[in-house]
Amino acid sequence: MTSRLRKRRSRLLRAVRPSRRNELWYRGQLHALVGHLRAAGAEILAAIKPQWPTVTDAAPPGLDFLLTHAKLKFGNIGAFAKARAATAVRKNLDDVDERLAASVKQSLNIDIRAQLTGEGPVAMEMARAARANVDLIESIPEQYFDRLREDITENWATGQPWSAIVDRVQEIGQITERRAALIARDQTGKLNAAFNNVRQRELGIEKFEWQTAEDERVRDSHAELDGQTFRWDSPPIVDGETATPGTPINCRCVAGPVFDIEETPAESPIAAEMEAESEAA
C-alpha cells in the first residue's frame, strides 16, 4: 500500500528535449554569415594573387588594408548578433514552455500556461543567454579574419605555392562552418537546459531524472547518470564539474521533471492549482 501511494505521489513527467527545428534555424543564420565571410576571403585572395612571391618576404603588401576593408563589411555584426541571439532565446523558451505545459497537463491534468510569464528568474536567464550568444556570434568573423591573416602571412613568408594558400583558405572556411554548426547545436541544447531548469523550479519541481540520448555517442560519465534522480539545488559532479543535463558542451542529455507531491512547496503554481481543484471538489 505504501509503495503504491508513493508511486502516485512521485511522478516522472515527460522530458523536454532540444528542438531540432530551432537548431536548424540557428545553423542556417550562422551559415549565411559564414558564406559572406568566405566571399570576403576569396576577394582578399584575388587581390594578392598577382603579387604572390617566388621568394620569401615579410607579408603581402597591402594585406592589412585588405583585411580592414573586408572587416568593414561586417561593421553591423553587433546588431546582427543581438537580433539572432534574441530570436534564438525566444524560440527556445517558447518551445520549452509549450512542451513543459503539455507534459504537466498530460500527467497531472493541470494547465500551467498562465503561470509561465517572462518575468523574474526566467527574464534574468534570457538576458544572460542572449549576452552569451551575442559573444559567440561576434567571435565568428573575428576568428575567421585572424586565421586568414596568420595563414596568408605564414604561407607568404615561407614561399609556399599559390595552391597551398588557396587550399588553406578553403579549409579555414570549412573550419568556420563546423564551428558555426557547433554553436547552433550546443547553444540550442544549453538554452533548452537553462529554461527547463528555471521553469521546473518556478513550478515547484525540485527534482529531475538525468536522461541520456541512449546511443553510442553518449559519454561514459553521462551514461552512468542515466535514470538517476537529483535535486536542482544539488546537481551531480560530472567530469570534475557540477553539471545538469544539457550544460556540458555538446551534451544531449535532458532533465526529466520529477514531481513529488510531498515535497512541492505550497506556494508553487502546481500546488496552488491542485489545492484549488481539491476545494472545488
- The predicted pLDDT at position 58 comes to 78
- The pTM of the full predicted model, rounded to 2 decimals, is 0.90
**Run of H or E residues at 10:** strand 10-12
CA 204 to chain centre: 25
Given a contact cutoff of 8 angstroms between Cβ atoms, the answer to whether 140 and 202 are in contact is no
- The torsion region of residue 268 among left (phi > 0), alpha (psi -120 to 50) and beta comes to beta
pLDDT averaged per 10 residues, the chain (length 281): 43 94 98 98 95 75 94 95 98 97 91 90 97 98 97 92 96 98 97 97 93 94 96 95 94 93 68 60 52
